[in-house]
A and B are shown apart, each in its own frame.
Chain A
């Protein structure tokens, strides 16, 4: 089957649109994750989503609502509460990661929550996207773009130097909590798009690739979005053309882009030196 023929099928059309939306907008939060050292926090958010899902199923509520509830609680714990009780967010993440898994397994055992159903949160796929998922992606994408447009300079100050941002009057705690919450939501949605184990391909790697050579936040955001689209849409084409799993193809595309950009950068630096 040729790629053009694939694109006539609604399932692939939805996948293409989903890949484009996730790659172009959710990836922008990777700039926050990479520069504000939130790499541990993103795991904690995923684990709390799992516990939230388990709690939801125990009370016969929708799984996704529970997962999003878990992410909301996690952003509160990692933001203002960590500040109030003077606990390093990294340390708090470690507590949350192990603690939430423990509680989730107790719930599986005691409340008879079907573990596999909860773990389905971690196994997303572009080809499984329905129209509702696309609307959620579109909505979240618009929110992410709005936040970066409206608070561009505040985010720039926060990511560049928190001490300076505070001295100038930027409400950094509020901004941090908001960004953690938005990152949590993006992770929750990205889990649905590529699956939890490959969330980094959309959230972290495009930003890492762009920030390795960008000269400012604006350049960083533009290239992150571009690499996000290339990795996710390109990965989808790769999977169709070479008959490979979608999530894995997106991940491989993202990693390949990172490697190519770093190789080019090193080669250019080497030429400049010699």
Chain B
């Protein structure tokens, strides 16, 4: 029997006490991939922010690796095992090498304020760069990477965190067709090789069919349904 990594039980998500989704329940097992689809405003990103503990759930329970997530300490603990991959639109004005960006993935789980990165942090960073075939680009400014290279670097950042769950929020939106296909193949391989659990939002249903085991459909002001 596969181990349960994440369980949402009758969760309500939203901002300022206004729910976007209510009574949302699903489970994700270790090594399983779940796709999330839904129109704009249906709460896909809010769902991710709730799982990450950025915003608290309005109701219901979240369980991570068998432990109920209630307090700030619980949220920080759960977050330390989650790798988040945003759309890849924000490259910022700050110059940052690929290596530094990947190292930052370990913030909050392995180092933080007053606890500087150690040799282990740097070696895990190099490992993640090697897995993602980015070693030769590690000194390059992130702003000068192509869309596909940048998304690989962001995945490397999640791997450096030693995450057991990847949350990917429309990761292929800004990629061309070829890069999109390569990215999905890469995720499929990673899932098999590292046993990662994946929760992915995408507008491209065909991508989800290739990568995921199940799909969660979110609709505005309706209960989410597993397809």
Interface string of A134-165 (1 = CB under 8 A from B): 00000000000000001101101101111110
> B26 near A: Cβ within 8 Å?
no
Distance A37 CA – B90 CA, assembled complex (angstroms) = 14
- A156-B104, A159-B94, A215-B95 known; A150 vs B84 contact (CB < 8 Å): no
> A240 near B: Cβ within 8 Å?
no
Distance A151 CA – B107 CA, assembled complex (angstroms) = 11
B86 touching A169 by the CB < 8 A rule? no
Distance A220 CA – B90 CA, assembled complex (angstroms) = 19
Distance A167 CA – B96 CA, assembled complex (angstroms) = 19
- A161-B86, A163-B86, A215-B139 known; A150 vs B113 contact (CB < 8 Å): yes
Interface hits, B94-136 → A, CB 8 Å: 94-97, 100-101, 104-105, 107-108, 111-114, 117
> A166 near B: Cβ within 8 Å?
yes
> A211 near B: Cβ within 8 Å?
yes
A217 touching B53 by the CB < 8 A rule? no
Contact of A154 among B92, B96, B113, B141 (CB under 8 A): B113
A214 touching B104 by the CB < 8 A rule? no
A220 touching B95 by the CB < 8 A rule? yes
B79 touching A211 by the CB < 8 A rule? no
CB neighbours of A211 from chain B (8 A): 93-95
Distance A263 CA – B200 CA, assembled complex (angstroms) = 45
Distance A50 CA – B48 CA, assembled complex (angstroms) = 44
> B76 near A: Cβ within 8 Å?
yes
Interface hits, A53-91 → B, CB 8 Å: none
Chain B binding surface, main DSSP class: loop
CB neighbours of B75 from chain A (8 A): 169
> B23 near A: Cβ within 8 Å?
no
A166 touching B54 by the CB < 8 A rule? yes
B84 touching A35 by the CB < 8 A rule? no
Distance A126 CA – B39 CA, assembled complex (angstroms) = 59
B108 touching A217 by the CB < 8 A rule? no
CB neighbours of A35 from chain B (8 A): 92-94
- A150-B114, A168-B108 known; A34 vs B93 contact (CB < 8 Å): yes
Distance A160 CA – B101 CA, assembled complex (angstroms) = 9
- A156-B104, A160-B104, A161-B92 known; A215 vs B52 contact (CB < 8 Å): no
> A170 near B: Cβ within 8 Å?
yes
Distance A115 CA – B174 CA, assembled complex (angstroms) = 54
Distance A119 CA – B49 CA, assembled complex (angstroms) = 47
Contact of B107 among A37, A153, A162, A215 (CB under 8 A): A153
CB neighbours of B96 from chain A (8 A): 156, 160, 216-217
B90 touching A163 by the CB < 8 A rule? yes
Distance A153 CA – B97 CA, assembled complex (angstroms) = 14
CB neighbours of B108 from chain A (8 A): 168-170
8 closest cross-chain pairs (CB), A and B? A167-B84, A35-B93, A159-B94, A169-B108, A35-B94, A168-B108, A160-B92, A160-B94
Task: List residues of A whose CB falls within 8 A of some B CB.
Answer: 34-35, 37, 150-151, 153-154, 156-157, 159-164, 166-170, 211, 214-217, 219-220
19 CB-based A-B contacts, threshold 8 Å? A35-B92, A35-B93, A150-B114, A151-B113, A153-B107, A154-B112, A157-B107, A159-B92, A159-B94, A160-B94, A160-B96, A160-B101, A167-B52, A167-B84, A168-B79, A169-B79, A215-B139, A215-B141, A220-B94
Task: List residues of B whose CB falls within 8 A of some A CB.
Answer: 49, 52-54, 75-76, 79, 84, 86, 90, 92-97, 100-101, 104-105, 107-108, 111-114, 117, 139, 141
Query: With A161-B92, A215-B97, A216-B97 given, can you name 4 additional A-B contacts, CB distance below 8 Å?
Result: A150-B114, A154-B112, A168-B107, A216-B96
